[in-house]
Amino acid sequence: MSAAPLSRRSVLLSGLALASCRPKATTPPAAPAKGAMSLRDAVDGSWRPAADKARDPWRHPLESLEFWGLKPGQTVVEFWPGAGWYTDILAPYLAANDGKLIAANLQPTDPAAIEIVEAFRRKLQANRKLYGAVEITAFGATSGPVAPAATADLVLFLRNLHNWMAAGVVEKAFRDAFAALKPGGVLGVEEHRAAPGGVQDALAADGYVDQAYAVRLAQEAGFILNKASEINANDKDSRDHPFGVWTLPPIRLTAPRGEPDDLGFDRAKYDEIGESDRMTLRFVKPA
């Protein structure tokens, strides 16, 4: 049994803080010449921390971004980039290929959120030649547009639906993405996938989201499901874990959030599973 539940916001921010804790690149590399960076180059980039690259076999960034249709010259909106796992691929690639990245980060309404946003900003400013002019906007309960209306080619929701469900803003996320996209633009979604046929917990307390439920949310905002992929599937994930999806790598909880690590917790079977089973979806804003 886990401890009494924390507040929505404390759970949300603690999860984001955990996801943001990773090694940083120490020496900023030189930026490639304009047009000289392929998506493969960006994924293989020397600036990406080794801990991030170690997760590529689970997150499949090259295949996922190709599936969502990332191309040179696009305007891309990445919602809630965290410490920048995907930003380290997107920003250099777009900067080198006449594109633009907009990072719709946390709405800075309290000290914890402000620090996450500022850490992300410092990361970008430390090597502007590599990352280019990433524009930071905000997404939250009372935020305005994440980008000028109908200007984005691609919007990305990367393992955040459960966070937004916990915060009560998931419907707004889809609406804001729809408003930002051009007609014919694409919304790409990666999310921890619940076992089919269950009843969706409105707060996604275990971190898993039913794929049919995610599709319905997108359709209610006006999107059309274009394609679904098994790129990020993991058949080993039973989804029955004592601390939800966060029991699995990369978070690897051994005790409920807010409690000390349980040094006697047997992690073997959870590490053997690897990262979670995930849906990978491509939606289109009707033209």
Whether 135 is in a domain gets the answer yes
**Residue 53: predicted pLDDT:** 98
Q: CATH number, domain at 54? A: 3.40.50.150
- Averaged pLDDT, 189-203: 96
- Three-class SS of 39-56: HHHHHCCCCCCHHHHCCH
**Residue 242: predicted pLDDT:** 98
| Token reading at 132 | 């280019």
- Averaged pLDDT, 253-267: 96
Whose CA is closest to 214, among 238, 234, 196? 196
Whether 16 is in a domain gets the answer yes
Q: Measured between alpha carbons, how far is residue 15 from residues 26, 164, 167, 192, 246 in Å?
A: 25, 12, 12, 14, 9
**Residue 237: predicted pLDDT:** 98
pLDDT band, very low/low/confident/very high, at 36 (cuts 50, 70, 90): confident
The number of domains in the chain is 1
Full-model pTM: 0.90
Whether 87 is in a domain gets the answer yes
Please list, residue by residue across 1-19, b when 16 or more beta carbons sit within 10 angstroms of its beta carbon and e when fewer do.
eeeeeeeeeebbbebbebb
What is the per-residue DSSP string for 91-119? HHHHHHTT-EEEEEEE---SHHHHHHHHH
Residue 153's contacts (CB-CB under 8 Å, 6 or more residues apart) are 71, 74, 75, 76, 181, 182, 185, 186
Whether 27 is in a domain gets the answer no
Comparing 33-42, 64-73, 120-129, 200-209, the range with the smallest average pLDDT is 33-42
- The backbone torsions φ and ψ at residue 37, rounded to the nearest 5 degrees and listed phi first, read -115, 120
CA distance 197 to 105: 33
User: What's the pLDDT tens digit per position in 137-194?
Assistant: 999 999 999 999 999 999 999 999 999 999 999 999 999 999 999 999 999 999 999 9
Comparing 2-16, 56-70, 246-260, the range with the smallest average pLDDT is 2-16
**Residue 112: predicted pLDDT:** 95
Torsion of CA 31, 42, 182, 145, to 10 degrees: -70
pLDDT above 60 (res 236): yes
Whether 2 is in a domain gets the answer no
Whether 60 is in a domain gets the answer yes
Whether 82 is in a domain gets the answer yes
Task: With beta carbons less than 8 A apart as the criterion, state whether 245 and 191 touch.
Answer: no
CA distance 156 to 103: 10
Task: Share the mean pLDDT of the chain.
Answer: 92
The whole domain housing 253 covers 8-22+34-284
Whether 109 is in a domain gets the answer yes
pLDDT above 90 (res 268): yes
**Residue 20: predicted pLDDT:** 46
Q: What is the side-by-side strand order in the sheet with 152-158?
A: 135-139, 100-106, 75-79, 152-158, 181-192, 278-284, 224-229
pLDDT band, very low/low/confident/very high, at 14 (cuts 50, 70, 90): low
